[in-house]
Amino acid sequence: MVSFTHAVEEIKSELGAMWLPRIYRERILLMRTRSHHLNIPSKKASVEIQHTLLGVELKIGRNRQSCPDLATARYLAVFARAGCADVAVPYDISRISSLADELESAWHRMLLLVERVAADSKNFRSRLRNLLINDVRREISEAGAGRVIPQFNQNTKQRRNS
């Protein structure tokens, strides 16, 4: 049986560019973002996206947060599943949907690799999954949640062509 640290490193190397914190650092934080706080009551809280009469809500444990659209709810749900309380959300809403797709794919691929590496032992699989999620949470919190207010280009001069 392989050790936990070896299995974690094997999964991280196999994920490569699809490692969730890497996507976060290299793709999301390079954009103009705003910080968002997720009210996560515990690390094991269930995460659901609910469609209500008032719109889309992200339910984390017993807490509900209103989301402007489904793409934002999907984007935030990935970080809520990992237990990240503060994350950066792209200011450009047209990019959130594709990033949500990429983050969800990376999350599910990570879980599938855990299943493959630890197929023989349920305890090993559970421990490995928890170690990976802790690494994701730690690396994303180290990267930071971006600015509270996005940075705007203040250049408003208009020049006329003569």
Q: Which domain holds residue 96?
A: 4-143
In this structure, is residue 42 part of a structural domain?
A: yes
Our count of domains for the chain comes to 1
In this structure, is residue 155 part of a structural domain?
A: no
- Give the span between the Cα atoms of 22 and 12, in whole angstroms: 10
pLDDT tens figures, 114-148? 998 887 788 888 999 999 999 999 999 999 887 66
- pLDDT higher than threshold 50 for residue 1: no
In this structure, is residue 125 part of a structural domain?
A: yes
Burial class (CB in 10 A: 0-12, 13-18, 19+), 119: exposed
pLDDT band at 69 (very low <50, low <70, confident <90, very high): very high
Average confidence (pLDDT) over 77-90: 93
